[in-house]
Amino acid sequence: MEKIVVANHKMYFDSLKSVNEYIEKMKEYKDKFIVAPSNLYLKLYTDAGFNVSAQNVYAKDSGAYTGQTSAKAAKDLGAKYTLIGHSETRSYLKEDEELINGKVKNAVKNGLTVFLCIGESQKTKDEGKTKQFLKKQLDVNLKDVDDLSNIYISYEPIWSIGGVPPTNEEIDDIASYIKSLFKHDVHVLYGGGVNEKSITKLEEIPNIDGYLIGGAGTDPEKLIKILEVTQK
Ligand code: 13P
């Protein structure tokens, strides 16, 4: 089965030249993955025909919200998706669970498909509280969201980002737990340490429908290797 592959560029790219080089190298593969560029470069990708996700959007359509990104504007520029609640935005932008709930509702209202990112810290894992922590995140982040059909859940344990993934058994256990919390079939992606080396083993996990990739997704050579394994 083909997997959903999202390349989250975070803030790795910082020049127009490097973005244009990436577009040139990846355009042949543009139908095989979703790119989440820095919001500044979003339109370069939509103009080149890529499937594009915003990295974050705000809870309001427009108004006096300096520095925020409007879901409506992202949609207008051709984005079909958005990440919400990535651990880096939760941490660096001090997003709380209620604000993320507002962002999800506004994104859905504007017709964006949401990759809702959830994941536990090393401390929560060590305390054996991962499942109850994830359930709380989902309960609050998805409160009063009428239509859940366009919500994909991305499980990203904070401690594995830029590092090594949990075992396949651990990931599958969490993915099937997340799925059990929904009445409908929900897509669950995994993120954290996915690269051209770890992907072959990760592909054996039954309950994972795709991957959210950071560092390796910014390197065309590595991303192409990942796509060769995941897009059969
Ligand atoms: P890495 O793939 O660099 O571990 O990052 C994962 C991530 O945060 C994707 O959103």
**What letter represents residue 86's amino acid?**
H
Fold of 4-230: TIM Barrel (3.20.20)
203: its two tokens: 């592909």
Measuring CA to CA, which residue among 177, 186, 176, 172 is closest to residue 142?
A: 186
Which protein residues touch ligand 1 with a CB less than 6 Å away?
8, 86, 156, 161-162, 191-194, 212-216
Please answer whether residues 93 and 85 qualify as being in contact, where contact means their C-beta atoms are separated by less than 8 angstroms. no
Other CB atoms within 10 A of residue 225 CB: 17
User: Which ligand 1 atom sits nearest the alpha carbon of residue 215?
Assistant: 3
149: DSSP letter: T
Ligand 1 center to 211 CA (angstroms): 9
Establish whether 156 is a catalytic residue: yes
Summarised one tens digit per residue, pLDDT across range 31-65 is 999 999 999 999 999 999 999 999 999 999 899 99
- The CA distance from 12 to 223, in Å, is 15
Please answer whether residues 204 and 175 qualify as being in contact, where contact means their C-beta atoms are separated by less than 8 angstroms. no
Instruction: For the chain of 232 residues, list the mean pLDDT of each consecutive stretch of 10.
Output: 94 98 98 97 98 98 96 97 98 97 98 98 98 98 95 98 96 98 96 98 98 98 98 85
User: Which ligand 1 atom sits nearest the alpha carbon of residue 87?
Assistant: 8
pLDDT of residue 105: 98
For a ligand 1 pocket test, name from 4, 6, 10 the mutation site with the most ligand atoms within 8 angstroms of its C-beta.
Answer: 10
pLDDT of residue 25: 98
For a ligand 1 pocket test, name from 156, 158, 164 the mutation site with the most ligand atoms within 8 angstroms of its C-beta.
Answer: 156
pLDDT of residue 1: 64
Burial class (CB in 10 A: 0-12, 13-18, 19+), 31: exposed
List the catalytic residue out of 88, 95, 120, 156: 156
Ligand 1 center to 63 CA (angstroms): 32
* Helices 130-141 & 168-180 angle (0-180, nearest 10): 40
Ligand 1 center to 190 CA (angstroms): 10
- The CA distance from 165 to 167, in Å, is 6
List the catalytic residue out of 9, 86, 95, 196: 86
How close are the terminal C-alpha atoms of the chain, in Å?
7
Other CB atoms within 10 A of residue 129 CB: 14
pLDDT of residue 146: 87
- The CA distance from 198 to 214, in Å, is 13
- The CA distance from 152 to 80, in Å, is 13
Ligand 1 center to 128 CA (angstroms): 23
Phi, psi at 28, each rounded to 5°:
-65, -25
Establish whether 86 is a catalytic residue: yes
53: its two tokens: 């996700």
Has this prediction a pTM greater than 0.85? yes
Ligand 1 center to 77 CA (angstroms): 25
